[in-house]
Chains A and B, each alone.
Chain A
């Protein structure tokens, strides 16, 4: 007798709904055991993780701030992935957007520039992000270069370009040689929504992006094309959809969103351009996109949830003196279970008895 993983005849919608719950349940059980081994009260630890951050305005704001760039980038990536275009370089597009938008902020610093500054920064950042994303897209379409590799490699180019600017031409003259621009002027700063808090306009923009993506995918021909090209390339060809055109389009849109997220982060929570503006948002967003099942609403939830584990992890460090490594393990275990449970949507467990061996293939 053995246990085998067998492909289902069709995807199970029940499992699709409950699998995140099973994953969270398994995570809680596993972490409770780990907390107990560490001599920490599992209930208090889980409370610090999941409940405490949701109980006050401050933490809720912080969750939204953390989720904003993740959700914006992940929405763009989901369009790419749905169309079978593999943009792995959102991190680079994020950085280039931040640089392009900062250019206006740096050049207008100390002048009496008006309210046009911030919108102009947003537009320039989105355009720059889109153009940067078009490099791998065009290489893919024209020369058949793997967009996975080219988009990834361009991340390092963007990173070093930013590094050069803040160490050289854009360095704050009063900054004691530290690699950073001067603080942006108020007109070049993303406004805060709640006095004294950190929640900023970017969170609202992220929600608009989610809504726009939901409409695009659910209600428009373009959205339908994107989904068909990804899910059934042959059918798409018969339908006369141009896959190459969609690669260009989805790359441009995801680059624009990543670039916009970049300038919002720099002109918002950070307030100046410096190296290390992204703790890997462009890569974490890939996880968010898949965790949200490439669905706009799903991505919003996944982004908020991942942000919750960051904020909760920090509060657990403070409240329970739980080491950082354990909070990292926590995130890892959670993602592991989510992905593992997701495989049950398309597969199921079966007990196989050797004497009446079943070799029926997958449906």
Chain B
């Protein structure tokens, strides 16, 4: 009896190690996620990217992910765990992983890291992000057309440049339609907290907003807008099923092509540390179908999308007037330069609010 038990244990362990041996030939690719893979927003889209990667290159790679990794003292350990487990290419998919990723990258010079939305790089650490402000500009046009009260509600996550540039792009676009457009901004101080996001949406609607836009990750705000008969934009992901009569469009993060490209480079031995900042033209994100709007608004949105994609329309075309009424220095010739957008730390004129910490 005892002997058979020991034999069974040995057999199981042996089977396990054989399994591990055959997997060792494949390139191991790791992912660190901020939310649960079922957040239906930011992390969900990264998971879709990973699944697209597996579908394309599944016979040559093995992927692993850790979800709900907080942007605190545990992040460094989680990233290092992936590096130690033999992952040769590791994607860390939130801004707050920047310093932990850099620390681990220094410790593991032979492992390649890819950090989403950050600005610190190393010889073995790339960054990647998307020009979501382009999509925000299109949303601003639609919002100004569709709002009856002339008040937009905006749920911010953190007042970092990515979010601030989104707010500015929205307002600059809206002002071209309605110069008196107003925006109410609530900072949720979280990326993912559905009850908090829902409360923010309710408060904005109570303050007269009839179009809700968000830079947080869950569909909670969409659901509130749908309940109250208001309009809203989705975030990161297709959220139409949470507001079939409410969603105007949504910025869809499409990470799959980028992940496939980077893993192919790794497999071919041509991976280099790079800074990728792609827009509509390079398909780093896409716009969900334009719904719940009249045909002329839809056409306007499609035209704007085409113009931005073709490089004919720039959301931050000079002159950009700051909140203080002064013109912002135009470092990029005809529009603000990438550095000014990536480090954006001011509101444009017409936003009747104060940037936190300013």
Contacts and interface: CB of A to CB of B under 8 A. Distances in A.
Contacts of B161: 176-177
Interface in B64-78: 64, 66-68, 70-74, 76-78
Contact of B66 (A44, A47, A317): A317
B158 interface: yes
A178 B80 CA distance: 23
Interface string A40-57: 010110010000000000
Interface in B87-102: 95-96, 99
A324 B78 CA distance: 13
Nearest to B63: A321
Q: Which of A62, A66, A276, A277 has the largest count of B CB atoms less than 10 A from its CB?
A: A276
Nearest to A325: B36
A225 interface: no
- Bin chain A's interface residue count: 35 or more
A277 B12 contact: no
Interface string A318-356: 110101100000000000000000000000000000000
Contacts, number: 84
Interface string B159-173: 111001000000000
A279 B70 contact: yes
Q: Which of B64, B66, B73, B77 has the largest count of A CB atoms less than 10 A from its CB?
A: B73
A196 interface: yes
Contacts of B273: none
A218 to B, nearest CB: 33
Interface in A154-183: 163, 167-168, 171, 176-179, 183
B323 to A, nearest CB: 15
A275 B71 CA distance: 9
A230 interface: no
A324 B36 CA distance: 9
A198 interface: yes
B300 interface: no
B357 A58 contact: no
A279 B16 contact: no
A290 to B, nearest CB: 23
A177 B345 contact: yes
A196 B345 CA distance: 37
Contacts of B343: 176
Given A163-B189, A177-B160, A277 B357 contact: no
B76 A269 contact: yes
A44 B81 contact: no
Interface in A265-284: 265, 269-272, 274-279
Interface of A: 41, 43-44, 47, 58, 62, 65-66, 163, 167-168, 171, 176-179, 183, 196, 198, 265, 269-272, 274-279, 311, 314-315, 317-319, 321, 323-324
13 contacts: A44-B12, A167-B357, A177-B160, A177-B345, A198-B77, A277-B72, A279-B73, A311-B77, A315-B85, A318-B30, A318-B82, A318-B85, A324-B68
